[in-house]
Amino acid sequence: MPSTAAMCRLMTSEGSLLAYATDNGRSPKTYAAIAASIWGTYKQHSLLLQGDPVSGLRFLILNCDEGIVLVTAISSMLLCLVGDQTVELGILRAKVNNRKRGHEKPRGGR
């Protein structure tokens, strides 16, 4: 059976947790702080190298001992998904893109 995301976090760009869902006992605050720190560092370097915030960092994939972490920006927030080592990157990317579309859609009748 294919594996999928084990954790999903929505956080500020500083790493403060806004919402999360997890199916294991790992600390979501720890993942959020680490992911936000790494995202901030890469974003700064991306802006320095490219000089254009629009063409800068879109997502970050971290291959860790305990799984794969994918981080992306949604407006001024960060979305972080964590899957185990067997999850396919395409599945994580599709889940992130789906969640991004859901958060970026205009609300209401306009």
Q: Residues 3-19: pLDDT tens digits?
A: 566 778 888 888 888 88
d(CA 44, CA 24): 32
pTM here is 0.74
Q: Residues 40-97: pLDDT tens digits?
A: 888 887 777 766 555 567 888 888 887 888 888 888 888 888 888 888 888 888 888 8
What is the token pair recorded at 103? 């958060």
